[in-house]
Structure 1
Amino acid sequence: KWLAHYSTLKNEPKVKAITCRAYARIGIIGNPSDGYFGKTISMSIANFWAEVTISESKNLVLVPHPLNDPTEFGSLLDLYYISRKEGYLGGLRLLQATCKKFYQFCSEKGIALSKQNFTLKYNVNIPRQVGLAGSSAIVSATLKCLMKFYNLTDDDMPISVRPNFILDVEKEELFITAGLQDRVVQVYEGLVYMDFNRSLMDERGFGNYVPMDIQCAPPFWLAYLRDPSDSGVIHSNVRQRWLNGDPDVIEAMKLFAELTDKARDSMEQKNWHDLAELMNKNLELRRSIFTDACLGPGNLKMIEIAKQHGSAVKLPGSGGAIIGLCFDLKKLSELKKAYQEAGFVFCQIVPYCPGNTGGQ
């Protein structure tokens, strides 16, 4: 009897399954200056998230997602349409790269990891390739799972360096063009002001990250493309110009930072009409640097619809989606209808507050 009892205990998993989420985000002001020693304000949103589950297992297993990492298709036609819509780069590579970097980090820091293996699986409802930080959300949620599974604490990996870890996974392992903003807000969660001042970054490797009261956020709306292309491409030319010392780009990044400080004041005073003006300025500054040809027809059409309805508008990420502010409920209803008739997806933003339930 006792032998059977202990035999059963031995075969049971020692660690219960752990599920963690990381949320999509919208860049409210200042982006894309986060990759250029600028300042931004960003907010995690409850509309969309990535969810990762880790459980103890005999072997280390990474489970492919049936839609994002398909290996079976109903037909060649199915393969064609799925590949065309979803692309070839699913989330499995993100899990694998995070695990590899996690082991490397722990080895370099002298953190001893227990010998148990695990199974990782993920799910994500963040619209793909529209600049809402879906890739970094999967990495962020995976890191949360690994830290909990191996009982790592804030002393082992401080919260201030976790965004750098996530960015390193994407940039060094997967060559994804990105800045720190998305990773910071997905680690800290809520509404966050970020200062990526060069002297701070050079001195300690991370910026000054200040959580703000979520009540300072006005009611944003979001629209995005149904059938986007890769959002990472939009950064490329500007970064090279910045590295080459282009004075227009360098000045623009300073102006983005100034807009961010003004927006912080406006939000704290709940002066949302001033914030709306600053968002419009952010967009026009971005258009002057990236050019409309680089933004592409989809983004330009979404911007045009917003302006026709008198709404403030800007890009919350690298392209494929826009956010806006419209305080007239009748105009907001008309705006929603206009986007849907034009073939775009439209929704009201729901801010995500840290401490909410949802696999933290």
Structure 2
Amino acid sequence: MATEKNAAIEHRAYARVGFLGNPSDVYYGRAISFSLGNFCASLPSICFISLVLKVNRLESDGYYGGVRLLMAICKIFHNYCKDNGINLHEENFTLSYDTNIPRQTGLSGSSAIVCAALSCLLDFYQVRHLIKVEVRPNLILNAEKELGIVAGLQDRVAQVYGGLVYMDFNKKHMDELGHGEYTPMDLGLLPPLYLIYAENPSDSGKVHSTVRQRWLDGDNFIISTMEEVANIPLEGRKALIEKDYAKLASLMNHNFDLRRQMFGDDALGAMNIEMVEIARRIGAASKFTGSGGAVIVFCPEGPSQAKLLEDNCRTAGFVFQPTQVMPSFLNEVDLGTMSTR
């Protein structure tokens, strides 16, 4: 972001990995996620005459083109500040972006763009100290909801906080505060992990469709299975703290197996399932990073097992990479806004 005085403000938001518990975050569950340094977004390209004029134009003309995510977060940010008595100055600004997050891989590329834009807006308007860290994932999600994107808070929490985060989205807390309970964890608890993704993936967005409706309709199987998924991060946090990596591998596999039971193979897609199975065939643990298109893998037997998996992925036409986990992005101003520290 650049102002009329050419004082540049730049922020990056990284891809994220839903490590354990997804997709229960959409269903008042729990999750453990981390920020993935392999890919990032650093912002869409548009010049706004002023934020107020742009929001007024959106109200009359709607969203259009490739900058729709930017427009949506500007509207949500403006309205939140207006509703909460936060005054914004009227200087002009320009937003521009770039991203290398692979599309349709379930690595949260869209929300990374929105997250980076929100960080720029916070600094441009100098209101970072007035908008709580816990609230920011909601603003990002609400911007995406403006465009009809169905998702949960997990991705946005990981991208706002950075690092490794344990999240509890229990209904009571969500109803009372409007957000979950988010607890940063020590990055050193994670073992070496690997990413597998397809260069030509299927659309990850369709994976939630039928399960969501069945859950809303009170389907006993979906409700009970989703509760089981939501319990995995509880066990996973304990396994990480105790460095019980055999248990961790079991939980990763179980997480995917439960997802597969709920969604079915047709919804998940043959290519996505093969990415999981190619790791399991050599004894590695694997599961989706999100809704499909990419898989996170733990090789309990170490580098030799990872090398074998890399060779098998190359033969199958999948991309294989060691993960780079980003540390927390929160500064002292951010920490000062948190309900608990």
Task: Give 1:110's aligned amino acid.
Answer: G
Structure 2 counterpart of 1:250:
223
For 1:44 and 1:225, the matched residues in 2 are separated by 20
1:345 aligns with 2:319: yes
Which residue in the other structure is 1:3 paired with?
none
Larger radius of gyration: 1
C-alpha distance 244-293 of structure 1, shift in aligned 2 (>3 A):
same
Alignment: residue pair count: 317
How big is the shift at 1:197?
Answer: 0.3
Tell whether the 8 Å contact from 2:199 to 2:319 is kept in structure 1 after alignment: yes
| Aligned pairs (5 A) from 1:91-240 | 91-154=66-129, 156-171=130-145, 173-240=146-213
- For normalisation by structure 2, the TM-score amounts to 0.88
Could you list the structure 1 runs, at least 4 aligned residues long, displaced by more than 4 angstroms after superposition. none
Q: CA deviation at 1:53?
A: 8.9
State the distance in 2 between where 1:275 and 1:59 align.
51
Shift of 1:261: 0.4
CA distance in 1 between counterparts of 2:168 and 2:122 reads 26
Identity of counterpart residues, as a percentage? 49
Residue 272 of structure 1 deviates from its aligned partner by 1.4
Question: CA separation in 2, counterparts of 1:147 and 1:157?
Answer: 8
Is 2:161–2:330's contact at 8 Å kept on the other side of the alignment?
Answer: no
Counterpart Cα distance in 1 of 2:272 and 2:20: 17
Give SS of 1:122's match: coil
1:354 to partner: Cα distance: 2.0
Distance 1:91 1:29 in 2: 32
TM value normalised by structure 1: 0.84
What is the aligned partner in structure 2 of residue 25 from structure 1? 16
Segments of structure 1 that go 5 or more residues without pairing to the other structure are 1-11, 62-88
Taking only aligned residues, the RMSD between alpha carbons, in angstroms, comes to 2.2
Q: How does 1:11-50 map to 2 (within 5 A)?
A: 13-14=4-5, 16-50=7-41
The 1:356/1:54 distance shift into structure 2, 3 A limit, reads farther
* 1:297-334 deviation per Cα after TM superposition (whole angstroms, max 9, x unaligned): 11111122111111101111011111111133222111
- The corresponding residue for 2:289 is 316
Unaligned stretches of 5+ residues in structure 2: 52-63, 335-341
CA contact (8 A) 1:222 1:346 kept: yes
Superimposed CA distance per residue, residues 156-198 of structure 1 (whole angstroms, 9 cap, x where no aligned partner) = 2111111111110001x11001000001111111000000001
Q: CA offset at residue 91 of structure 1?
A: 4.8
Output the amino acid matched with 2:69: L
Per-residue Cα deviation, 1:59-117 (whole angstroms, up to 9, x for no partner): 469xxxxxxxxxxxxxxxxxxxxxxxxxxx97511111111221121222222211111
Q: Compute the displacement of 1:52 (Å).
A: 2.8
Rounded Cα–Cα distance in structure 2 between residues aligned with 1:191 and 1:208: 14
Q: Structure 1 residue 273: deviation in Å?
A: 1.6
Question: Which letter does structure 1 place at the counterpart of 2:304?
Answer: K
Is the CA contact 1:20–1:53 (under 8 Å) kept in the aligned structure 2? no
CA gap of 1:251–1:90, structure 2 versus 1, over 3 A, is farther
**Structure 1 pair 326–58 and aligned structure 2 pair: CA distance change class (3 A):** closer
Question: What do residues 201-225 of structure 1 show as CA deviations (whole Å, max 9, x unaligned)?
Answer: 1111111100000101111111011
